[in-house]
């Protein structure tokens, strides 16, 4: 769900907003669920009387998945409560366009005795949108303030919702989503007869199919658009805007194409360097060379003796002939034979000449070496988890404790409420007067309801524990707000099934041994998987080892070929 907010100034009046919200010509249907045109104009008059800069606050919310009118109205009331507004004075209009619906909520800035809250309004609106998506089971849409929203939800005790929203935050801040244009620019373009979303898609498509800025500018010109440097050169150097031929602004290049400013500056520098680069052609190279002699010289310049000094040329470098490396290697070996002690047996030197083979024999030997490499790769295979870093006990236990801390607090808080209610009920049962007035019965119902809520929180906390330590693949299901007596048997059975986990979460002294045991189980399970993998691939590795021995035997030089090779004459050993 996308939520946008805009504040309407008092000097502008409510006429433009009223025409857009109540009489939009592009909408298939308009349904007014609350408020009226008179209510918006009256709120603007009250804001002028109080001397406020802003008179109305316009909040538009567009869900990605279909929502009923009742669901949209409930979401509008949650927005009112978030900003301390009175739902009785709101104007709520539902627009239907292209088969989908979206809402427009207009709230007066002056709330009879206070001004509508505006602190961190964008972040709070995104928080309400994410919570509504979780509540309705819609797909979550990433926003620019997901990290801040997750932090605020953790402080409110909504750990599960915080984890879901924190997963949307990108790793790099530069990858955060941003709007290509504001709602005010959208309305201005509509009044001028321009469809800003379609133009934005057109610009993005032209950029994707362009190889650089020059073909992109040409493509823009074909569609009646231009790109130029922005007017705020001092504050935003290098920023370029895209506008129509008549000067109507569409948006910034970087926002429309999602190109980072640093990359765009590089493209600009490359374009400018290509435009200003001058040709280095030498004019003298185009002249036809003519050899002048004294016979055809008409000016007599070449006939006169040359009195200019001779140019100072450096003498040519004398290049020595290259030495034969094979001869140098042969001499070094001979010297080694001379310096070798007499007690050391003489080792015949390696042949200095390569093995002479036919082309077919060389290809066969190359295939054999490739086959050996393939078998060696099979032999070098190891279990996937064998190369992983070893599990660090203290780090992992500390990580588990930190993740389980908010769940322990939530469980203790729920148990404290139930225990307090049970104590009040037991005291009321001892009083005859409270039994006669029915107060004891009411306290009994409250106690039973809190018991069901405690069992539900217990179920949520235990599932979170299992998910954190890796015994459950999916996150815990959210805590249900409405519980009946029909849910009691299932919750009681869950408590009996996971009694050990419940005891660990309820008592800090029992949680530490449970986590230690779980860590030992993880290490043992990894060791068992490595052993099973080695056992399953043992026969395959043995076969690869035998195949390597067989292939290497084929690379041995035959005796007949080795005897025909020229060898270096060896000197007699001095030990005999």
Specify whether 225 is located in the same domain as 105: no
Specify whether 406 is located in the same domain as 497: yes
Residues 212 and 487: their CA atoms lie apart, in Å, by 63
Specify whether 492 is located in the same domain as 433: yes
Q: Count CA atoms within 13 Å of residue 483 on its CB side.
A: 22
Range of the domain at 404: 393-528
Residue 557 banded pLDDT, cuts 50, 70, 90: low
Core vs surface per residue 130-144: b (16+ CB within 10 A) or e: bbbbbeeebebbebb
> 101 phi and psi, to 5 degrees?
-120, 150
Reduce the DSSP state of residue 198 to 3 states and report it: helix
Instruction: Please check the confidence at residue 575 and state whether its pLDDT lies above 50.
Output: no
Residue 284 lies in a domain: no
Specify whether 118 is located in the same domain as 198: no
Among 23-27, 32-36, 259-263, 312-316, top mean pLDDT goes to 32-36
Residue 105 has what pLDDT? 92
Specify whether 105 is located in the same domain as 187: no
Residue 298 lies in a domain: no
Instruction: Please check the confidence at residue 185 and state whether its pLDDT lies above 70.
Output: no
Average model confidence (pLDDT) across the chain: 78
Residues 85 and 111: their CA atoms lie apart, in Å, by 7
**Cβ atoms of 249 and 243 closer than 8 Å:** yes
Q: Which of 270, 290, 312 is a domain's end point?
A: 270
In this structure, the strands spanning 29-34 and 91-97 are antiparallel
Specify whether 6 is located in the same domain as 137: yes
Specify whether 120 is located in the same domain as 196: no
Residues 159 and 171: their CA atoms lie apart, in Å, by 20
Residue 287 has what pLDDT? 47
Q: Which of 91, 112, 141 is a domain's end point?
A: 141
Residues 237 and 250: their CA atoms lie apart, in Å, by 19
Closest CA to 130 of 138, 119, 118: 138
Q: 363 exposed, middle or buried (CB, 10 Å; 0-12, 13-18, 19+)?
A: exposed
Residue 564 lies in a domain: no
Retrieve residue 286's tokens. 């185009």
Instruction: Please check the confidence at residue 292 and state whether its pLDDT lies above 50.
Output: no
Residues 298 and 352: their CA atoms lie apart, in Å, by 69
Residue 429 has what pLDDT? 85
Specify whether 17 is located in the same domain as 115: yes
Greater confidence (152 vs 549) lies with 549
Residue 176 has what pLDDT? 52
Into how many domains does the chain fold?
Answer: 3
Closest CA to 515 of 403, 399, 397, 398: 397
Helix pair 159-166, 146-155: axis angle to 10 deg? 170
Residue 278 lies in a domain: no
Instruction: Please check the confidence at residue 173 and state whether its pLDDT lies above 60.
Output: no
Closest CA to 70 of 94, 91, 87: 94
Sheet holding 54-62, edge to edge: 2-9, 54-62, 100-108, 91-97, 29-34
Residue 58 lies in a domain: yes
Q: Which of 489, 507, 528 is a domain's end point?
A: 528
Specify whether 400 is located in the same domain as 524: yes
Residues 254 and 426: their CA atoms lie apart, in Å, by 68
Residues 168 and 153: their CA atoms lie apart, in Å, by 14
Residue 184 banded pLDDT, cuts 50, 70, 90: low
Instruction: Please check the confidence at residue 294 and state whether its pLDDT lies above 80.
Output: no
Residue 537 lies in a domain: no
Provide the whole-model pTM. Answer: 0.39
Greater confidence (425 vs 331) lies with 425
Residue 399 has what pLDDT? 86
Q: What are the pLDDT digits (tens) for 334-363?
A: 777 655 555 545 565 565 555 566 788 888
Residue 198 has what pLDDT? 76
Of the candidate ranges 2-6, 127-131, 162-166, 454-458, the one whose mean pLDDT is the lowest: 162-166
Residue 300 banded pLDDT, cuts 50, 70, 90: very low
Residue 465 has what pLDDT? 85
Residue 561 has what pLDDT? 52
Residue 58 has what pLDDT? 92
Helix pair 393-430, 159-166: axis angle to 10 deg? 150
Closest CA to 535 of 383, 336, 377, 312: 383
- Mean pLDDT over 124-139 rounds to 86
Specify whether 137 is located in the same domain as 230: no
Could you tell me which residues come within 8 angstroms of residue 440 by beta carbon, excluding any fewer than 6 positions away? 425, 428, 429, 431, 434
Closest CA to 149 of 136, 131, 175, 134: 131
Residues in the chain: 576
Longest Cα separation, the chain: 146
- Mean pLDDT over 270-295 rounds to 54
Q: Say how many C-beta atoms besides its own lie within 10 A of residue 25's C-beta.
A: 7
Retrieve residue 368's tokens. 């054999």
Specify whether 131 is located in the same domain as 188: no
Residue 350 has what pLDDT? 60
Q: Say how many C-beta atoms besides its own lie within 10 A of residue 392's C-beta.
A: 11
Residue 170 banded pLDDT, cuts 50, 70, 90: low
Specify whether 136 is located in the same domain as 7: yes
Residue 569 banded pLDDT, cuts 50, 70, 90: very low
Q: 377 exposed, middle or buried (CB, 10 Å; 0-12, 13-18, 19+)?
A: exposed
Q: What is the CATH number of the domain that holds 62?
A: 3.30.930.30
Residue 566 lies in a domain: no
Q: 305 exposed, middle or buried (CB, 10 Å; 0-12, 13-18, 19+)?
A: exposed
Q: What percent of the chain has pLDDT over 90?
A: 4
Residue 80 lies in a domain: yes
Q: Say how many C-beta atoms besides its own lie within 10 A of residue 421's C-beta.
A: 20
């Amino acid at each position: 769900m996308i939520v946008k907010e805009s504040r309407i100034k008092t000097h502008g009046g409510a006429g433009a907003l009223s025409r857009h919200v109540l009489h939009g010509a592009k909408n298939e249907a308009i349904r007014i669920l609350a408020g009226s045109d008179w209510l918006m104009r009256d709120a603007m008059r009250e804001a002028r009387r109080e001397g406020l800069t802003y008179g109305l606050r316009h909040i538009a919310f567009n869900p990605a998945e279909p929502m009923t009118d009742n669901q949209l109205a409930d979401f509008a009331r949650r927005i009112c409560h978030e900003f301390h507004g009175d739902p009785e004075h709101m104007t709520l209009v539902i627009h239907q366009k292209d088969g989908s619906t979206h809402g427009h909520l207009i709230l007066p800035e002056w709330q009879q005795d206070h001004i509508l809250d505006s602190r961190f309004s964008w972040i709070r609106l995104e928080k309400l949108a994410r919570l509504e998506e979780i509540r309705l089971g819609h797909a979550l849409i990433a926003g620019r303030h997901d990290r801040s929203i997750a932090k605020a939800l953790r402080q409110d005790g909504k750990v599960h919702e915080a984890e879901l929203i924190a997963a949307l935050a990108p790793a790099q801040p530069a990858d955060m989503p941003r709007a290509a244009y504001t709602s005010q620019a959208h309305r201005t373009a509509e009044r001028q007869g321009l469809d800003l979303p379609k133009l934005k898609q057109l610009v993005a498509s032209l950029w994707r199919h362009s190889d650089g800025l020059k073909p992109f500018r040409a493509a823009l010109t074909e569609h009646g658009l231009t790109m130029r440097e922005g007017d705020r050169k001092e504050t935003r150097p290098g920023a370029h805007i895209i506008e129509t031929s008549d000067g109507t602004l569409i948006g910034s290049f970087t926002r429309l194409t999602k190109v980072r400013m640093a990359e765009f500056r590089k493209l600009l520098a490359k374009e400018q360097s290509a435009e200003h680069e001058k040709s280095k052609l030498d004019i003298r190279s185009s002249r036809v060379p003519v050899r002048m002699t004294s016979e055809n010289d008409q000016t007599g310049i070449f006939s006169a003796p040359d009195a200019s000094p001779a140019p100072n040329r450096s003498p040519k470098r004398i290049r020595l002939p290259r030495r034969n490396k094979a001869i140098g290697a042969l001499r070094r070996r001979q010297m080694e034979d001379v310096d070798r002690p007499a007690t050391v047996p003489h080792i015949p030197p390696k042949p200095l000449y390569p093995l002479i083979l036919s082309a077919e024999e060389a290809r066969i030997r190359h295939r054999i070496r490739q086959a050996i490499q393939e078998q060696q790769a099979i032999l070098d295979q190891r279990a996937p988890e064998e190369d992983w870093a070893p599990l660090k006990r203290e780090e992992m236990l500390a990580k588990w404790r930190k993740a389980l801390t908010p769940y322990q607090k939530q469980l203790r808080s729920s148990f404290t409420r139930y225990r307090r209610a049970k104590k009040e009920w037991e005291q009321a049962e001892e009083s005859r007067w409270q039994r006669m007035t029915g107060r004891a019965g009411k306290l009994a119902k409250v106690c039973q309801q809190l018991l069901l809520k405690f069992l539900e929180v217990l179920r949520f906390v235990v599932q979170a524990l299992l998910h954190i330590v890796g015994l459950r693949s999916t996150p815990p299901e959210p805590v249900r707000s409405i519980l009946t007596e029909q849910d009691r048997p299932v919750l009681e059975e869950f408590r009996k099934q996971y009694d050990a986990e419940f005891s660990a979460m309820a008592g800090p002294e029992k949680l530490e041994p449970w986590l230690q045991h779980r860590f030992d189980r993880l290490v043992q399970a990894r060791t068992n998987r490595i052993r099973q993998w080695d056992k399953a691939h043992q026969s395959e590795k043995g076969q690869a080892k035998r195949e390597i021995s067989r292939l290497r035997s084929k690379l041995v030089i035959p005796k007949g070929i080795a005897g025909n090779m020229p060898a270096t004459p060896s000197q007699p050993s001095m030990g005999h």
